[in-house]
Amino acid sequence: MVITSIDEHRKILLVEGLISNGMVEYESLTGRLRKVAPRSTVQLMDGEKILGYDHVLFAVLNALNARQRGRTISGDIALEILVYTSAQRQIRRALSEIGLKPESRNIILVAVSDSVEELENIRREVGQIEGLRIDSSFIESWREDKLEVVKRTFEISDSELEAIRIADTSKRHVAEKLVIERMALLSVNV
């Protein structure tokens, strides 16, 4: 479990990796988590398209900054986080790219709150759900096939990846920088 204080917004961020056996109904899961943490924002995303913790952190920061400036794409902060994570301006496309689907097995749970207690409630509740287990290791895990999924999702070409790659820098690190750059461009254009 990764909990981070976002001091400039007086918020606390929880990022957790979850593995589903395919029998979890995601709408009811989200509702259940919101019930145990009513003052928190909860978002679930497809973990296969998330490059790592920094990808999520920068998306949350962009969403909170957009809200503070009054320049959001969505009126819902959970959707705003999804929009920035996907680096997509259109909510429908963001849901299509990063949102959970029935076949999603690796899930990223993002929760933003004023209360550590509510974040702990969320984590405790997740631990009680049959067919779902907490596994934060895949948030930072890397496979070459994941790079291909990320390149398609964020429209990163091989030439773009290689153009900014410096010796001894992993493709994953470069891809994450490119995705964060796309999120920053989105925030400037909103």
What pLDDT score was predicted for residue 1? 63
The band of 3, judged by pLDDT with boundaries at 50, 70 and 90, is: confident
Reported as a single tens digit per residue, the pLDDT across 9-63 is 999 999 999 999 988 888 889 999 999 999 999 999 999 899 888 999 999 999 9
Reported as a single tens digit per residue, the pLDDT across 141-175 is 667 778 888 888 888 888 888 887 776 678 888 88
Given a cut of 70, is residue 138 above it in pLDDT? no
CA gap 70, 129 in Å, rounded: 36
**Is beta strand 41-46 parallel, antiparallel or unpaired with respect to 11-20?**
unpaired
Reported as a single tens digit per residue, the pLDDT across 91-105 is 999 999 999 988 889
The dihedral sign for the CA sequence 1, 45, 124, 22: negative
Of residues 117 and 24, more confidence is placed in 117
What pLDDT score was predicted for residue 38? 96
**For all residues of the chain together, what is the average pLDDT?**
88
Domain of residue 82, residue span: 2-189
Contact in structure between 43 and 110 (CB atoms under 8 Å):
yes
Q: At what angle do helices 116-127 and 26-36 cross, to 10 degrees?
A: 140
Q: Domain containing 28 — which CATH number? A: 3.30.2380.10
Q: How many domains does the chain have?
A: 1
